[in-house]
Chains A and B, each alone.
Chain A
């Protein structure tokens, strides 16, 4: 068909438009369902969390990035790799707290709000709150408890969109999984072998 050629719209762009529009439809639906901005914010965060918990697996598999050594490295990976990969933007990392446990992501152009205008009666709605949930959920799966929230939002008249992230604590693993388990097993075998060795040597002495 001749139609095909003259419409070489970038498929990546289109896909992110599909995402943006779908997200818009979701927020609209939530506003209908709850009629209370606070509740909508909470729902978006919850749904984001559910996505983040799964998204981290996709991310780790694709990016082949290992464990982060510190929070600064985490910040870099989030801004330069994760945001780039999924939303096609690279937010800047700024406003580090002196202790290095808190930073801000500044989003130049948030793709979630591409065609959005907030009506006046939704002044407390945090439109892109899904992102907070995603970040929280994803980091929780790599043993980091982090507080994520929007500090500024262009939709609500601020100059920039700012996501503030605060490291709370490292989550201890209850059930040692994977490599840790291996280590435990090894040390266990080692102890047993040592005991047997001692026993045998004692027997030999006698």
Chain B
């Protein structure tokens, strides 16, 4: 199954395109521009996540509660999108979830350690968007952020917004 390679290359091209597009001539990007890039990538991911969850839950029974949804995201959804299950799911039972993936597929090609750690955010924004989009179509508005302390391990923090 080599399709994943194609996705990985496409993802890299998307990231570099978005960064080139937002970058002004002065070379170094300031934090505002960087934030814009992240949000563009995040929004692209959001739409993709919505599409995937539609396809994935086409004929599945409805979910019991929030935790049930999160479990589904960690198992089935993660397997389909990132080709492995989430290694660890933690929650404070107040709407905050931490999903830890020890070998996140989009980081494995980058580094195995602390090298390029500063580059990690731009390769995670799209994935954060995917998760947020998926949750959104399951009826949960959320904020998803990612945090890396050592590659290729990654923690996604999901904060469910209570209405």
Q: Which residues from A are CB-within-8-Å of B1?
A: 11-12, 15
Bound together, the chains give a CA A111 to CA B5 distance in angstroms of 16
Name the distance in Å between A128's Cβ and chain B's nearest Cβ.
13
Can you name the residue of chain B whose Cβ is closest to the Cβ of A88? B3
Interface pair B7/A19, CB less than 8 Å apart: yes
Q: How far is the CA of A62 from the CA of B17 in the complex (A)?
A: 28
B72 in contact with A86 (CB, 8 Å):
no
Is A177 an interface residue, CB under 8 A from the partner?
Answer: no
Query: How many residue-residue contacts, CB under 8 A, span A and B?
Result: 103
Instruction: Give the residue among B9, B16, B21, B56 with the most A Cβ atoms within 10 A.
Output: B9
Say whether A85 contacts B10, CB under 8 Å.
no
Report which of B2, B4, B21 forms a contact with A33, defined as CB distance below 8 A. B21
B16: chain A residues at CB < 8 Å are 50
Q: Name which residue of chain A comes closest to B46, CB basis.
A: A25
| SS class, residues of chain B in contact with chain A | helix
Give complex CA distance A47, B14 in Å.
8
**Do the beta carbons of B72 and A3 come within 8 Å of each other?**
yes
B140 on the A face (CB < 8 A): no
B93 at the interface (CB under 8 A from A): no
Contact yes or no, A54 B7, CB < 8 A: no
Q: State in angstroms the CA–CA spacing of A4 and B60 once bound together.
A: 10
Residue B103 at the A interface, CB < 8 A? no
A11/B79 contact (C-beta < 8 A), A22-B11, A25-B47 known: yes
Q: Size band of the B side of the interface?
A: 35 or more
Q: Does A23 reach chain B (CB closer than 8 Å)? A: yes
In the assembled complex, B40 has its CB within 8 A of some CB on chain A: yes
B3 and A22 contact, CB distance less than 8 A: no
A21 and B47 alpha carbons, distance in the complex (Å): 8
Judging by beta carbons under 8 Å apart, are A15 and B3 in contact? yes
Question: Does A181 lie at the interface of the complex (its beta carbon under 8 Å from any beta carbon of B)?
Answer: no
Whether A4 lies near B75 (C-beta < 8 A) is yes
Residues of A close to B81: CB separation below 8 A: 14, 18
Chain B residues close to A by CB (< 8 Å) = 1-7, 9-11, 13-14, 16-18, 21, 40, 44-45, 47-48, 51-52, 55-56, 60-61, 71-72, 75-76, 79-81, 83, 126
| Extra contacts besides A15-B83, A30-B17, A86-B5 (17): CB < 8 Å | A1-B71, A3-B61, A3-B75, A4-B76, A14-B52, A15-B1, A15-B3, A15-B4, A22-B7, A22-B48, A22-B126, A29-B44, A33-B21, A55-B5, A58-B2, A62-B2, A88-B3
User: What are the 4 closest A-B residue pairs judged by CB atoms, nearest first?
Assistant: A25-B44, A14-B80, A21-B51, A51-B9
